Structure 1
Amino acid sequence: MPQIKVGLIGAGGIASAHIKGYAAHADKIGITAVADAVEETAKAREAELGATAYTDYREMLANEELDAVDICLPHHLHRDAIVAAAEAGKHILCEKPLCLSAEEAADVRRAVEANGVTLMSAHNQLFMPAVAKAKELLEAGTIGTVYEVRTTDSFYNDFDPSSMGWRASSKTSGGGELIDTGYHPTYLMLHLAGGMPVEATAMLSTHRLKFMEGEDSAQVLIRFDNGVVGQLVTSWAYQPAGSTERFSAVGELGSLHSDGTSLTYQLRSGESETFELEPVDTFVAEIEHFADSLIGKTRPLHTEVEGIAVLGILLAAYEGARNKTIAPVIRP
């Protein structure tokens, strides 16, 4: 048996990427039970994983000896599953977004704190080697005081009305592309900026996927409490221009930029260096980090604190776009 026994809540979609991580680190952590409201999906994962299947995760929490849960549900179901797991005394890995409103975020924070469990936000792109190297350079002061951070995550999405499912509805997704794929460059922005968000605004567009309720593209501006200003571009409508960086930062001494694999810093002194970094499966690395955090009783890179901060950015961006203002980031 693995050191850490996990109950998988939501067995479709993104769960497949998580399952690869458990397979790679079976000596530390493994799925021993799985719950999915679709019985066929639950049974298929039961056969695949040798895990006990349920159609109700609350029944799984009551009946199984679990150390933790991994929540891979649609967005609008995250809050209830987090609260139920915390009240059952289980540690939690939760897919993005953490939840959908300030009220839900307050519920999550209270449940985690009251029950003394660890919650890790499943922010897989933090485990890109280029991101880790950039964070190391920024914290070492290589480019001095940081002024600006930019992040991009755009691609041509071939969703159509028959394949988009719950993501087509703002009620179940929480918005549009920005709170979905756009969540990735938002937490990456938070990580690299090194401060907490203060205010944000956005311009939202629906360029191509006009059958969905929310936006298919967004451009966001964010100010942090340490003076950093962030610029974020994200879209399902198009591939970015070839010269677009995945992320960059500019500071008093120079700058750094990355395409997601290599990383280069350039200083005004003339010094520069490029790091060619081997790509990794970020979901596999994420599961290992979750296991190591629980085994070593250490803080994960991003907990509910960062998950709530990311949600705060997104809610302020949506408010700013709606009211054509710069909106404050509310902290529940």
Structure 2
Amino acid sequence: MAVIKVGLIGGGGIASAHIRGYQQHADRIGITAVADAVEETAVARGTELGAKPYTDYRQMLADEDLDAVDICLPHHLHRDAIVAAAEAGKHILCEKPLCLSAEEAADVRAAVTAAGVTLMCAHNQLFMPAVAKAKELLAAGTIGTVYEVRTTDSFYNDFDPSSMGWRASSKTSGGGELIDTGYHPTYLLLHLAGGLPVEATAMLSTHRLKFMEGEDSAQVLIRFDNDVVGQLVTSWAYQPAESTERFSAVGELGSLHSDGTSLSYRLRSGETKTFELEPVDTFVAEIGHFADSLRDRTRPLHTEDEGIAVLGILLAAYEGARTKTIAPVLKV
């Protein structure tokens, strides 16, 4: 199969991490066109990549012979770009979050299904070796029936009003930290829990970044249809305490936990084991997986199905926080 030709939609911010992936997998997949509403950014990225620049991604879709697109736009622009790409018959890699509402999710699902294209959610943390090893151990029944999964993704963010841009507005970000960085521990929780989310609630806080409209920190509880209960903590306000795990799971036979690099388990029988795993660039691994999925016509780890499930958790968490209830996860 020839090298997969990709149109990059959105050349700022996170696009740099994606570009590293294309550079590492240039024998299989590459960016041949780039669209950004800021002409200076489009031209600069085009020069960097040897790709044709556009200021309108719809024009790029119409003019270019592309196999796929990579969407790296602000959150509120994802739905329209996904629908346009699907209608043009292009496969899609989309940064998180997939979209911002149940209505948008329905539009995404309908467009992708009608076009018969592959949509992969850019859930890069799934490619941490510790996550793959944990999933393997859970599937093998190492800790037995899983009762509880916990995830954490918190850091001290130095955003200020001059640098936060569209993320400061709930209208363009979709909320606050929870739907942004908090999206990562949410899809990780979904992946490890192994079920579909049923209900959720949250406590939201703005500890430090008082100038933004949404929360800068969140604690979320989720119940899945296999009776696993998930807990996640996420924040831009602080570094977590030294002993905080990146993720953990507890089951009938014992537990496992990880700092994101190493992974350990301890069973009630007394058996313990630690895996020291070589870190990888998760964005490079993500782009390689996207290329493999398209070339081999296999299902990506997370498609629109998981993207919509993650969004459902977040929307229920926001609703639970607003109403001080446990809110159902809506089906789309």
What is the TM-score when the length of structure 2 is the normalising length? Answer: 1.00
Task: Show the counterpart of 1:273.
Answer: 273
Does 2:326 align with 1:326? Answer: yes
1:1-332 → structure 2 map (5 Å cutoff): 3-332=3-332
User: Could you give the per-residue CA deviations for residues 3-28 of structure 1, whole angstroms, max 9, x where no partner exists?
Assistant: 20000000000000000000000000
Match of 1:203, SS? strand
What's the offset of the Cα at 1:2? 5.6
Report sequence identity in percent: 89
CA distance in 2, matches of 1:309, 1:15: 24
Alignment partners' CA distance in 2, 1:331 and 1:82? 20
| 1:205 partner amino acid | S
Preserved CA contact (<8 Å) 1:170 1:214: yes
Structure 2 Cα separation of the partners of residues 206 and 273 of structure 1: 39
Please list the CA deviations of residues 72-96 of structure 1 after superposition, one character each: whole Å capped at 9, or x if unmatched: 0000000000000000000000000
Whole-Å separation in 2 of the counterparts to 1:38 and 1:90: 23
Q: CA deviation at 1:296?
A: 0.1
Q: Deviations over 1:22-80 (max 9, x none)?
A: 00000000000000000000000011000000000000000000000000000000000
**Cα distance per residue 1:238-268 (max 9 Å; x no partner):** 0000000000000000000000000001000
1:289-318 alpha-carbon deviations (Å, 9 max, x no partner):
000000000000000000000000000000
Letter in 1 for 2:310: V
3-state SS, counterpart of residue 208 of structure 2 = coil
Query: Partners in 1 of 2:64 and 2:325 — Cα distance?
Result: 49
- Secondary structure, counterpart of 1:232 in structure 2: strand
Residues 168 and 98 (structure 1 numbering): CA distance in 2 closer, same or farther, change over 3 Å? Answer: same
| Matched letter for residue 204 of structure 1 | L
Tell me if the contact between 1:200 and 1:320 (Cα under 8 Å) persists in the aligned partners.
yes
One-letter code of the match for 2:144? G
C-alpha distance in structure 2 between counterparts of 1:113 and 1:83, whole Å: 11
Matches of 2:52 and 2:21 in 1, distance apart? 19
Change (3 A) 1:2 1:29: farther
Q: Do 1:11 and 1:36's aligned partners in 2 also have CA atoms closer than 8 Å? A: yes
Q: Deviations for 1:213-255, whole angstroms, at most 9, x for unmatched residues?
A: 0000000000000000000000000000000000000000000
Runs of 4+ residues deviating >2 angstroms: none
Q: What's the RMSD between the two structures over aligned residues?
A: 0.7
Secondary structure (helix, strand or coil) at the match of 2:5 reads strand
- Whether contact under 8 Å (1:2, 1:30) holds in the other structure is no
SS in 2 for 1:137: helix
The AA in structure 1 aligned to 2:295 is I
Which amino acid letter does the alignment assign opposite residue 155 of structure 1? F
CA-CA distance at 1:193 after TM superposition: 0.1
Give distance in 2, aligned partners of 1:299 and 1:129: 19
| 8 Å Cα contact 1:175-1:214 kept in structure 2 | yes
Cα distance in 2 between the residues matched to 1:2 and 1:239: 45
Secondary structure of 2:231 counterpart: strand
Structure 1: gaps spanning 5 or more residues: none
Shift of 1:331: 1.3
State the AA in 2 paired with 1:268.
R
CA distance in 1, matches of 2:137, 2:278: 18
Three-state SS of the structure 1 residue aligned to 2:171 is helix
Name the CA distance, whole Å, in 2 between partners of 1:3 and 1:141.
Answer: 40
Task: For 2:331, give the aligned amino acid.
Answer: R
- Residues matched between the structures, number: 332
Aligned amino acid, residue 72 of structure 1: C
1:114 counterpart SS class: helix
